[in-house]
């Protein structure tokens, strides 16, 4: 007898795991043959909650970059998953037909699958952290090139009117310069006596040479006057173009600073997605990791589904049925008592009416 009592004694760790399974401890104590099954289910629920805590902690650390904030959110998320898994497992009843149990289990399996995917993603990011960091750098450089191309287009768009006007002024200056150079060449030919359609062919500074010297001087004055007139306008145009470059360069540096910090949770998910598309091995490994956590999440539900009906299930069904019968009995008694009181009230009311009629007739 002594050995039997020691064998059927539940230790603290079994007790804790059975609490994790969501089972009724009072009923489990009456069915020792079920302890190992529910301790195993509780262990799976516990380890799922631990992985969920680590997963959420890492995800929150990439978002807030603060250890204590990540720990707080991780523990909160882990407790929520722990409580949710306990409810999913404990809500599965081993009563009714097998098909009814399957139909009852399907929505719980779907929910558990989603939880497995959610838990696995941050842990995938941690497992492939080096590869993800390398891909993040590739994404950052790609974004910077796109930014530079956009900035170049905006520079051309914003500085275009100023550059166009500046080129028009410079082209006009070139026209005046060419006219002056042409007049200088004609004057030199006239003085040297080189005959052409515009020169007399006589050597020396004669009448034609004086006229050409006056024309040259006029062209020089036209050039200098136009340059003086447009000097302030050219300076204004240069300042506006410089202002466009300065503003966009400041914006580019600011945007590049933001791009350099492109390492948050969503950015890492993007990098992991691109890694999976570029590398079949990484995609396969990520699929295996996700499948592992999905299996871990749905295993308590499957264990409850495929396991045989045990003493605990009979005790639970009996307890729930006793409460149903007790509740039904109380409701029936309450209804009977209420009907009895209503009948008494109706009889009393009839007697009063009859007595009143007798008094009126008398």
For every one of its 362 residues, what pLDDT tens digit does the chain have, with 9 covering 90 and above?
Answer: 344 444 467 788 888 998 998 888 888 888 888 888 888 888 988 988 898 898 888 888 877 878 899 899 999 998 998 998 888 888 877 776 777 777 878 888 888 888 888 888 888 888 888 888 888 888 888 887 887 777 777 777 777 787 788 888 888 889 888 888 887 877 776 676 665 655 555 666 667 777 777 888 888 888 888 888 888 888 888 888 788 777 777 777 777 666 666 677 788 888 888 888 888 888 898 889 888 888 888 888 888 777 777 788 788 888 878 888 888 888 888 888 887 777 776 667 677 777 767 666 65
Label residue 44 exposed, middle or buried (CB < 10 Å: 0-12, 13-18, 19+): buried
Same domain, 122 and 13: yes
Residue 139 in any domain: the answer is no
Whether 344 is covered by a domain: the verdict is: no
**Domain coverage including residue 13:** 2-133+267-337
Give the span between the Cα atoms of 252 and 333, in whole angstroms: 81
Same-domain check for residues 288 and 248: no
Q: Is residue 193 part of a domain?
A: yes
Structurally, the chain folds into a number of domains equal to 2
338, two tokens: 């209420």
* CB 210, CB 264: distance < 8 Å: no
> 28 and 123 share a domain?
yes
Asked whether residue 250 falls in the same domain as residue 208, the answer is yes
Question: Is there a domain that residue 346 lies in?
Answer: no
> Do both 128 and 235 map to the same domain?
no
pTM: 0.58
Q: Do residues 309 and 33 make contact, with C-beta atoms less than 8 angstroms apart? A: no
Token look-up 């992991």 returns 272
Handedness of CA 227, 231, 235, 236 (dihedral sign): negative
Both structure tokens of 176: 């005046």
Residue 142 lies in a domain: no
Tell whether 162 is covered by a domain: yes
Q: Is residue 350 part of a domain?
A: no
**Residue 62 near residue 268, CB atoms below 8 Å:** yes
Contact present, 142 and 271 (Cβ < 8 Å) = no
Q: Are residues 14 and 76 in the same domain?
A: yes
Same domain, 161 and 247: yes
Does a structural domain hold residue 173? Answer: yes
Nearest to 296 by CA among 96, 125, 170, 112: 112
Q: Cα–Cα distance between 168 and 200 in angstroms, integer?
A: 37
């Amino acid at each position: 007898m002594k050995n039997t009592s020691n064998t059927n004694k539940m230790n603290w760790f079994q007790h804790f795991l059975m609490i994790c399974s969501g089972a009724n401890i009072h009923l489990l104590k009456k069915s020792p043959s079920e302890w190992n099954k529910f301790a195993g289910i509780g262990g799976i629920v516990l380890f799922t909650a631990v992985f969920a805590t680590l997963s959420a902690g890492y995800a929150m650390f990439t978002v807030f970059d603060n250890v204590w904030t990540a720990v707080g959110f991780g523990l909160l998320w882990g407790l929520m998953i722990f409580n949710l898994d306990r409810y999913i497992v404990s809500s599965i009843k081993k009563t009714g037909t097998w098909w009814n149990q399957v139909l009852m289990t399907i929505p719980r399996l779907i929910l558990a699958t989603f939880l497995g995917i959610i838990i696995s993603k941050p842990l995938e990011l941690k497992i492939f952290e080096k590869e993800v960091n390398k891909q993040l750098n590739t994404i950052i450089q790609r974004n910077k090139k796109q930014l530079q191309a956009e900035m170049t287009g905006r520079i051309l768009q914003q500085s275009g009117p100023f550059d166009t006007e500046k080129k028009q002024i410079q082209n006009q200056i070139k026209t005046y310069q060419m006219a002056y150079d042409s007049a200088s060449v004609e004057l030199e030919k006239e003085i040297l006596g080189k005959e052409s359609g515009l020169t007399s062919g006589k050597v020396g500074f004669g009448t034609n040479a004086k006229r050409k010297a006056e024309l040259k001087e006029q062209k020089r004055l036209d050039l200098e006057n136009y340059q003086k007139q447009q000097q302030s306008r050219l300076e204004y145009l240069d300042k506006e173009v410089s202002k466009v470059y300065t503003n966009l360069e400041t914006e580019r540096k600011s945007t590049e600073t933001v791009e350099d910090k492109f390492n948050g949770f969503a950015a890492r998910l993007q990098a992991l997605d691109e890694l999976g598309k570029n590398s079949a091995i990484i995609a396969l490994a990520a699929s295996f990791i996700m499948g592992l956590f999905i299996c871990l999440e749905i295993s308590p539900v499957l264990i409850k589904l495929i396991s045989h009906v045990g003493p605990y299930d009979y005790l639970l069904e009996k307890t729930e049925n006793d409460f149903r019968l007790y509740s039904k009995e109380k409701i029936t008694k309450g209804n009977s008592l209420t009907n009895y009181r209503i009948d008494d009230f109706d009889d009393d009311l009839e007697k009063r009416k009859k007595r009143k009629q007798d008094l009126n007739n008398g």
